[in-house]
Amino acid sequence: MKLVQTLEDFQMAVLHPNWRILPQQFDIPSTSQIFGLQLASAGFEGIKYPSSKDEKLSLAVFPQNFTNPLTKIEIVDECPVGVTRKIIDQSSILTFSKAGSC
């Protein structure tokens, strides 16, 4: 462990591939969980980040911040077979479920 002093240090701390190990040992939130909480508290609707499992992109959504009627998340590429919902907005965020949605 070392003190974060640069953007690169911050990225390594937040995106560390073994992000669970230290927090589990001391029963504390991980750096990425704390960062997510700060983003949600700051009013961000979500964040796109590389997965720690396969380097594909993942999306964390903070539905409590969908307060503006113009806020939306829209999939512009093709979705997997069986996925029908391509837009998440203020009216749909409360009923959004993983089944059949992307």
**Alpha helix locations (H) across 5-97?**
7-14, 21-26, 31-41
Q: What is the pTM of this model?
A: 0.66
Instruction: Look at residue 52 in the predicted model and tell me its pLDDT.
Output: 75
Task: State the pairing for strand pair 57-61/72-74.
Answer: unpaired
Instruction: Look at residue 19 in the predicted model and tell me its pLDDT.
Output: 67
Question: Of all residues in the chain, what percent carry a pLDDT higher than 70?
Answer: 89
